[in-house]
């Protein structure tokens, strides 16, 4: 399907919305369903080839991950949590990255979409492949990290490397793309390039300008550390400069773009002030490089804003077209405010990024790029087999069944509409905002307390009145 634009393969499994990390957990798989619903109701699903991805098999997952780790993910369930303490600690499936029902299936869907997406690009079936369920960039080969268990990105890139000599990985999540960088830090066949908040112990704490890769991969890891309050204008200016320099010196054969939406203004865990259009401009810039492109999701913790952002970016990817501001009526409409529109506005946070520092950072990156071997190539080699055979399952998938939102209510405790305004006033401190404090619960508790106080006051007042009337 080519609509005066690109051939796009879009991977979506409707079951993704059934998974729950936990009520108070900020990661909400439902945002993928909300994105899909906007795509359907904006008429965008008709402009793409839609696929339900083959779920990744254990064989696929161990192409990067340790077998023991994958076997543990396969077996562990919330019921068995208490008998496996040492393994849980070993594999870091604790705290931020909890066990939840169906966790392994969730991982297989996310990874399957990225591997299939890469295969479509390898075989010329699409110009662009999109998997909003992917982009889980923190997972390590033998450890979970930051809500990520299986690194679908690494698996997707490994698939691309079967047909492409040089793959460029770009990460616009607010957190450093540490898992992907670590996986490819010793090779020149993948250049990783991450733009992220760095400093003040912001998670994951890596991604300094001086982290440039090792051995054959030295200077093939690019990190652009940033500070709080980044706005559209400056973000795009340095994003474009850096990416154009990377493109000039590395000349990739294909690109993987992780579109983490926690860089958006009002994100529950983020501290930047980007708008949907600012975020989208970066995606558009990469699209216009006209290389095979794998688009993945990632972070993003204000579900409705994530859905708006990824729906808008899907439209840009298909044919560079803007969408009407007014949100179409759809099954999640009740979770958006009545006057809410597709495009976010900035809240005007203080931008702590000084131009002089950004210029110095860029200068250093540019110097490193100039030192790399221009366009490293790969000698003759036998091409490894494709991960999954392209079979009859690989036909466009039609979704006849409408999604239902009847069980999703608990997934919306999203009070972040005013969150950044509040944070801004309180001098933002990300450490104070543990992802495990549910703002709704907090509000309910506060209200209860206030009611109790009022009641007490009321009864005191009544007693006083009684006493006075007795006098």
Contact set for Zn ion, span 164-193 (CB under 5 A): 173, 175
d(CA 149, CA 94): 11
By CB under 5 A, which span of 89-97, 257-265, 277-285, 354-362 interacts with Zn ion?
257-265
What is the number of the residue whose Cβ is closest to Zn ion?
299
- 138 counts as catalytic: yes
- Tally of residues, the chain: 471
Contact set for Zn ion, span 83-122 (CB under 5 A): none
Q: Residue from 262, 313, 394, 414 that binds Zn ion (CB under 5 A)?
A: 262
Name which of 180 and 369 has its Cβ closer to Zn ion.
180
Closest CB 262 distance from Zn ion, rounded Å: 4
d(CA 51, CA 60): 19
Which residues on adjacent β-strands are paired with residue 2?
Answer: 7
Closest CB 75 distance from Zn ion, rounded Å: 28
CA geometry: angle 157, 252, 361, nearest 5 deg: 95
d(CA 202, CA 180): 18
Name which of 207 and 260 has its Cβ closer to Zn ion.
260
Among 411, 461, 427, CA closest to 26: 411
Site string for Zn ion, 360-399 (x = CB under 5 A): ----------------------------------------
399 backbone dihedrals φ, ψ, rounded to 5°: -100, 100
Name which of 70 and 271 has its Cβ closer to Zn ion.
271
Site string for Zn ion, 127-166 (x = CB under 5 A): ----------------------------------------
Name which of 246 and 306 has its Cβ closer to Zn ion.
306
- Among 36, 65, 138, 175, the one annotated catalytic: 138
Chain centroid offset of residue 59 CA: 25
Helix (H, G, I), strand (E, B) or coil at 36: helix
d(CA 106, CA 101): 9
Closest CB 222 distance from Zn ion, rounded Å: 18
The answer to whether the beta carbons of residues 300 and 267 sit under 8 Å apart is: yes
d(CA 455, CA 233): 51
Contact set for Zn ion, span 292-311 (CB under 5 A): 299
Contact set for Zn ion, span 402-461 (CB under 5 A): none
Distances in Å between the Cα of 443 and the Cα atoms of 24, 32, 266, 446 are 13, 27, 18, 5
Check binding of 207 to Zn ion (CB under 5 A).
no
107 backbone dihedrals φ, ψ, rounded to 5°: -65, -40
Closest CB 425 distance from Zn ion, rounded Å: 24
Name which of 75 and 200 has its Cβ closer to Zn ion.
200
Helix (H, G, I), strand (E, B) or coil at 168: strand
Q: Residue from 260, 278, 297, 303 that binds Zn ion (CB under 5 A)?
A: 260
d(CA 277, CA 341): 12
Distances in Å between the Cα of 363 and the Cα atoms of 199, 250, 350 are 20, 17, 24
Closest CB 244 distance from Zn ion, rounded Å: 24
Number of residues that bind Zn ion (CB under 5 A): 5
Closest CB 300 distance from Zn ion, rounded Å: 7
Q: Could you list the active site residues?
A: 138
- Chain residues in the site for Zn ion (CB under 5 A): 173, 175, 260, 262, 299
């Amino acid at each position: 399907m080519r609509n005066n634009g690109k051939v796009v393969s879009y991977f979506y499994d409707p079951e993704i919305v059934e998974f729950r990390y936990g009520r108070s957990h900020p990661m909400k798989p439902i945002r993928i369903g909300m994105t899909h619903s906007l795509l359907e109701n904006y008429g965008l699903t008709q402009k793409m080839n839609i696929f339900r991805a083959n779920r990744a098999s254990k064989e696929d997952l161990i192409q990067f991950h340790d077998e023991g780790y994958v076997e543990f993910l396969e077996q562990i369930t919330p019921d068995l949590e208490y008998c496996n303490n040492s393994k849980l600690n070993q594999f870091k499936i604790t705290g931020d990255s909890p066990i939840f029902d169906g966790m392994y299936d969730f991982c297989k869907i996310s990874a399957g979409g990225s591997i299939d997406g890469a295969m479509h690009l390898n075989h010329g079936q699409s110009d662009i492949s999109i998997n909003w369920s992917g982009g889980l960039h923190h997972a390590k080969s033998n450890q979970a990290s930051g809500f990520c268990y299986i690194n679908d990105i690494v698996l997707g890139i490994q698939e691309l490397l079967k047909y492409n000599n040089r793959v460029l990985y770009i990460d616009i999540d607010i957190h450093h793309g540490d898992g992907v960088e670590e996986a490819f830090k010793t090779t020149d066949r993948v250049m990783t390039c991450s733009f992220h908040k760095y400093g003040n112990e912001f998670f994951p704490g890596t991604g300094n300008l001086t982290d440039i890769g090792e051995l054959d991969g030295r200077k093939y890891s690019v990190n652009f550390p940033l500070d709080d309050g980044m706005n559209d204008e400056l973000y795009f200016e340095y994003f474009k400069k850096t990416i154009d320099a990377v493109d000039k010196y590395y000349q990739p054969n294909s690109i993987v773009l992780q579109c983490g939406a926690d860089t958006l203004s009002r994100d529950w865990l983020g501290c930047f002030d980007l708008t949907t259009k600012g975020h989208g401009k970066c995606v558009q810039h990469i699209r216009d490089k006209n290389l095979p492109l794998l688009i993945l999701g990632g972070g993003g913790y204000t579900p409705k804003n994530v859905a708006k952002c990824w729906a808008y970016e899907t439209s840009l990817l298909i044919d560079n077209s803007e969408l009407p501001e007014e949100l179409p009526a759809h099954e999640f409409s009740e979770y958006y405010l009545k006057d809410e529109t597709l495009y976010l506005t900035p809240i005007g946070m203080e931008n702590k990024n000084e131009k002089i520092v950004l210029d110095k950072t860029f200068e250093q990156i540019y110097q490193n790029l100039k030192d790399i071997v221009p366009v490293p190539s790969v000698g003759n080699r036998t091409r490894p087999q494709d991960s999954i055979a392209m079979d009859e399952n690989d036909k466009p998938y039609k979704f006849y069944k409408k999604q239902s939102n009847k069980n999703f209510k608990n997934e919306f405790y999203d009070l972040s509409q005013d969150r950044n305004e509040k944070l801004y006033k309180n001098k933002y401190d990300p450490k104070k905002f543990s992802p495990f404090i549910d703002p709704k619960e907090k509000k309910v508790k506060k209200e209860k307390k206030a009611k109790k106080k009022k009641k007490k006051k009321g009864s005191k007042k009544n007693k006083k009145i009684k006493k006075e009337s007795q006098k």
